[in-house]
Amino acid sequence: MKKLFKKNKTAILISTIGILVLLNIISYTKLWTNLETYFDSKVFNEIATPIATIIAVIIYYGALKSTQNQNAITKSNNDKNYFEEIIKEYQDKAKSTSVKYHNDYSNKSINFTELVEEVIINIDTMIYNEDYQSDLKLLSNGETLTHYNMKLRSYKKEYSFLSKIFTGKSRMSFFIQDIIELLKDIDSSNLTKDDKKILSKKIIRIFIGDYTKFFDEKYSIYPNNTLIPIQTVGKNLRIDFVPIYETPFLKNIKEIKEYQK
């Protein structure tokens, strides 16, 4: 606020000084041209009145602009506090949003904050599995795999977990979509540009920070051709092996990262 007022005040002073200098130049020009005219009050009023009006307009504009900026900052602060509360609620929601393994008799479940680590463990286990490697060869020969085939595979637990996550139909995926909507709300709000950037970066750092392991070149741990088995919708329950970065789940994560720019 002080900086803003100082900038407006400086602009007003500079404008006023400039006008006064111009007035002096005009006055002295008149003086040297016609000394009597210089002291003519009528002529002086004709010069001074519009200048005074201009000065008044400049001062009014500066005050109006300062008030508008202050109102915008106040409104932004109110909205920022609101979104800060929403972020706290989402942090609690992240801990309570969990998914269970299918066919895992230990009934293990993980929440959103543990998801990245568990996804990596399952991918690493799957891609080095002999049945998985054999299935890749079958696919390269044009054969089709179904959900029923997967029940016989030794990596069926990893397939079941990863398929559910990467299809974008799990509670985790719905939570990611909620975060996207929150970022959109922030982007379309009355927040200042700086506040929008601060909140967006905070959300990405809290919820998506670990996903740099998938997208940042420095930390990327899987090549583009890493295939994730995903069950399609239909009577035959066909299994598609989709490149990891083309899966719906990671596409949503990538969309979130766009708000970091």
For 16-28, the pLDDT digits (tens) are: 655 654 555 555 4
Q: For residue 218, count CB atoms less than 10 angstroms from its CB and return exposed for 0-12, middle for 13-18, buried for 19 or more.
A: exposed
Whole-angstrom distance, CA of residue 16 vs CA of residue 22: 10
Q: Is the same domain home to 68 and 195?
A: no
Residue type, 193: K
Whole-angstrom distance, CA of residue 193 vs CA of residue 259: 12
Q: Is the same domain home to 164 and 233?
A: yes
Q: Is the same domain home to 39 and 122?
A: no
Q: Is the same domain home to 216 and 105?
A: yes
Whole-angstrom distance, CA of residue 173 vs CA of residue 169: 6
Is 92 within a domain?
no
Q: Is this structure's pTM higher than 0.85? A: no
Q: Is the same domain home to 120 and 18?
A: no
Q: Is the same domain home to 58 and 117?
A: no
Split at pLDDT 50, 70, 90, the class of 2 is very low
Number of domains composing the chain: 2
Is 145 within a domain?
yes
Q: How far is CA 248 from the centre of its chain?
A: 19
Q: Is the same domain home to 65 and 136?
A: no
**Tens of pLDDT along 107-128?**
677 888 888 888 888 999 999 9
Domain span including residue 169 = 97-260
Tokens representing 234? 């239909």
User: Averaged over 25-39, what is the pLDDT?
Assistant: 49
Is 91 within a domain?
no
Is 86 within a domain?
no
Contact 90, 207 (CB under 8 A): yes
Is 248 within a domain?
yes
Q: Is the same domain home to 105 and 33?
A: no
Whole-angstrom distance, CA of residue 241 vs CA of residue 245: 12
What is the per-residue pLDDT for 103? 47
- Residue found by looking up tokens 């895992």 in the block: 104
Is 239 within a domain?
yes
The residues near 117 (Cβ < 8 Å, ≥ 6 apart) are 210
